[in-house]
Amino acid sequence: MTLPKGFGTGGGASSSDVSKMIGRRVEDMAGIITAFFLALWAGTWAGVAVAVVYYPWAYPPPSAHFALTVLTIIESIGYLFCIKVVTEGTSKAKTYNGLLAGVIAAVAILTIITDCFFFG
């Protein structure tokens, strides 16, 4: 394999050379994944809120509670898998467990509060 100038020693490519050629490592992207997850959940919440407020005859409160709860569970499972895959095999895996638990717990609590006091 022919490598670009500055990569490889003695004609072979080491794993560090390949890693440098690929670009940024994904284990440093847990913050942006978390930000996108929170934005996704906020968009889901806003979509359900708009449906309940503007179209109550088509989207009654029990449907809103069910939709928000199920979508929150699905989004949280996706977020869990994203963070676990990104931090797999790194020393940062234990560092992000607290972030993962805190964010999912906060979203779950906000969903429960919304289901109890809003949308109906």
Convert the pLDDT of each residue in 45-99 to its tens digit: 999 999 998 988 888 889 999 999 999 999 999 999 999 888 887 777 778 889 9
Residue 69 domain-assigned? Answer: yes
Q: Is residue 7 part of a domain?
A: no
CA angle 106, 110, 115 (to 5 degrees): 150
Number of domains in the chain: 1
Residue 62 lies in a domain: yes
Q: What is the pLDDT of residue 36?
A: 97
What is the model's pLDDT at position 24?
Answer: 57
Q: pLDDT tens digits for 2-57?
A: 666 665 565 555 566 566 655 557 777 889 999 999 999 999 999 999 999 898 88
Whether 14 is in a domain gets the answer no
d(CA 119, CA 64): 7
* Rounded Cα gap, residues 87 and 93, in angstroms: 5
| pLDDT for position 20 | 60
Which pLDDT value is given to residue 104?
Answer: 97
Q: Is residue 1 part of a domain?
A: no
Domain range for 77 is: 24-117
| The pLDDT of residue 85 | 86
Q: Is residue 37 one of the residues assigned to a domain?
A: yes
In a domain, 87, yes or no: yes
Do the domain assignments include residue 18?
A: no
